[in-house]
Amino acid sequence: MSEPVQIACAACLTANRVPAERLAQDPKCGKCGAALLDGAPVELAAEQFETFVRRTQLPVLADFWAPWCGPCRAMAPHFEQAAQNLRDRVRLVKVNTEEAPQLAARYGIRAIPTLVLFKDGVEVKRVSGAMDAGTLAQWAA
Ligand SMILES: [Zn+2]
């Protein structure tokens, strides 16, 4: 038996423990029933972000973006494609830095888009600049 993997629910932030062999079987939140790994980027508000990251053992790839940023908007479909391709391996989340300026400041975001990869709740690397879906997947691997 493999170890369960803890995954935060994007809807209610409950930490769910999912057996590793069930990650690819569309697991649901035990509390609210929402899909835990729906293959879509999760839009997180400032007050949700750190709880979500801390409660998720899968790698979390965060896109710090803003609506006025052309490269951010150009990357959005690639980010969605990467979320689909990586659905049971990496959680892709988006943080709108216009709505969460203090969170962006706390993470020292100076350019957007900036992509930050977390493992076990800890930042492991970051990069600034837009990437396509294939490059995102390689970078997060
Ligand atoms: Zn839930």
Q: Which of 9, 29, 32, 72 is catalytic?
A: 72
Query: What are the backbone dihedrals phi and psi of residue 12, each rounded to the nearest 5 degrees, phi first?
Result: -125, 0
- The reply to whether 9 belongs to the active site is no
The model's pLDDT over 14-37, given as tens digits with 9 standing for 90+, comes to 999 999 999 999 999 999 999 999
Helix-helix angle 133-140:70-85, to 10 degrees: 60
Which pLDDT score, from 0 to 100, does residue 2 have?
75
SS3 4: strand
Distance in Å, CA 108 to ligand 1 centroid? 30
Which pLDDT score, from 0 to 100, does residue 1 have?
61
60-65/91-96 β-pairing: parallel
Q: Which of 9, 29, 32, 69 is catalytic?
A: 69
Please provide the average confidence, as pLDDT, over all residues in the chain: 96
Distance in Å, CA 11 to ligand 1 centroid? 5
pTM of the complete model:
0.95
Distance in Å, CA 47 to ligand 1 centroid? 16
The answer to whether 73 and 80 are in contact (CB under 8 A) is no
- The reply to whether 29 belongs to the active site is no
Distance in Å, CA 31 to ligand 1 centroid? 5
Which pLDDT score, from 0 to 100, does residue 110 have?
94
The model's pLDDT over 122-139, given as tens digits with 9 standing for 90+, comes to 999 999 999 999 999 999
CB-count exposure of residue 92 (10 Å: 0-12, 13-18, 19+): buried
